[in-house]
Amino acid sequence: KNEVEQSPQNLTAQEGEFITINCSYSVGISALHWLQQHPGGGIVSLFMLSSGKKKHGRLIATINIQEKHSSLHITASHPRDSAVYICADIPQGGSEKLVFGKGTKLTVNP
């Protein structure tokens, strides 16, 4: 069964801190999404990656296919980064059906 686990479930940080959110999955995948959702809001796709590392501004996502693990890093965190971060994988062979983690709620205090 394809399961996606995220840790931590909740994370509180001070402005400027380096943040790491982890995602592990149980079966082989084609790719993995990192998504951001602000309170009461829609979902923004931050990254989709199938190998290596991607960077966009202060956000960095890495994936290790062999270890079935991905991380999302936020450098120089800011209160506007406060949101729920969700990882979702695309099963191997390709599929419209994303398998979602339960999300990590990040709060960055000024």
Partner 1 sequence: DTEVTQTPKHLVMGMTNKKSLKCEQHMGHRAMYWYKQKAKKPPELMFVYSYEKLSINESVPSRFSPECPNSSLLNLHLHALQPEDSALYLCASSQTGTSGRSAVYEQYFGPGTRLTVT
Cβ-contact 88, 45 below 8 angstroms: no
Pick between residue 80 and residue 97 the one whose CB is nearest to partner 1.
97
Residue ranges binding partner 1 (CB under 8 A): 30-31, 33, 35, 40-45, 48, 50, 86, 88, 90, 94-98, 100-103
Pick between residue 14 and residue 30 the one whose CB is nearest to partner 1.
30
Contacts of 88 (CB under 8 A, 6+ apart): 4, 32, 33, 35, 98, 99, 100, 101
What sign does the CA torsion over 33, 106, 53, 76 have?
positive
Shortest distance, CB of residue 77 to partner 1, whole angstroms?
Answer: 22
Shortest distance, CB of residue 29 to partner 1, whole angstroms?
Answer: 9
Cβ-contact 29, 12 below 8 angstroms: no
Quote the tokens at residue 96.
């419209």
Shortest distance, CB of residue 36 to partner 1, whole angstroms?
Answer: 10
Pick between residue 74 and residue 88 the one whose CB is nearest to partner 1.
88
